[in-house]
């Protein structure tokens, strides 16, 4: 089963979904993993409180890029408010494999960027 998830992560990193930038996003945020300098940017277009479009760009290891790709798939069409509910555990569950403590920051970079972008927009409190 872990092989299946591993394959899925490799596939997302080689052929990322929703990769690119949105020309006129309602919010955008970019951040890096301080340990390695790898970056992820996420742009979001909101319509009636719903994530109408979401794209990510950046560069980094397979786990950071795959998790950002999976996150955009997960959130497209969902309510913006649902970003607040997303936890680190949700993201790690989505990846489906055991992530070593050293790679957790890679796996959570996209989520950190998405939450930072959303909280900046609506002034929600930051979770750390
Ligand atoms: Fe840089 Fe994973 S090694 S984000």
Domains in the chain: boundaries? 2-119
Give residue 4's pLDDT: 84
pLDDT higher at 126 or 77: 77
Helix pair 104-122, 88-95: axis angle to 10 deg: 140
Picking from 43, 55, 32, the residue whose alpha carbon sits closest to that of residue 108 is 32
Q: What percent of the chain has pLDDT over 70?
A: 92
Q: State whether the beta carbon of 104 lies less than 6 angstroms from ligand 1.
A: no
User: What ligand 1 atom has the least distance to the C-alpha of 109?
Assistant: 4
Give residue 119's pLDDT: 83
Q: State whether the beta carbon of 33 lies less than 6 angstroms from ligand 1.
A: yes
pLDDT higher at 82 or 128: 82
Decide: pTM greater than 0.75. yes
Q: Are 27 and 44 in contact (CB under 8 A)?
A: yes
Fold of 2-119: Sufe protein. Chain: A (3.90.1010)
């Amino acid at each position: 089963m872990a092989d299946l998830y591993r394959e899925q992560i490799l596939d997302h990193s080689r052929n990322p979904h929703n990769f690119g930038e949105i020309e006129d996003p309602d919010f955008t945020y970019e951040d890096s993993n301080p340990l390695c300098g790898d970056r992820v940017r996420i742009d979001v277009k909101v319509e009636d409180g719903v994530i109408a479009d979401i794209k990510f760009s950046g560069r980094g290891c397979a786990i950071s890029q795959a998790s950002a790709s999976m996150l955009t798939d997960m959130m497209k069409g969902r309510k913006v408010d649902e970003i607040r509910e997303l936890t680190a555990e949700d993201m790690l569950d989505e990846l489906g494999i055991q992530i070593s403590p050293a790679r957790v920051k890679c796996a959570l970079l996209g989520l950190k960027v998405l939450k930072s972008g959303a909280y900046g927009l609506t002034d929600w409190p930051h979770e750390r």
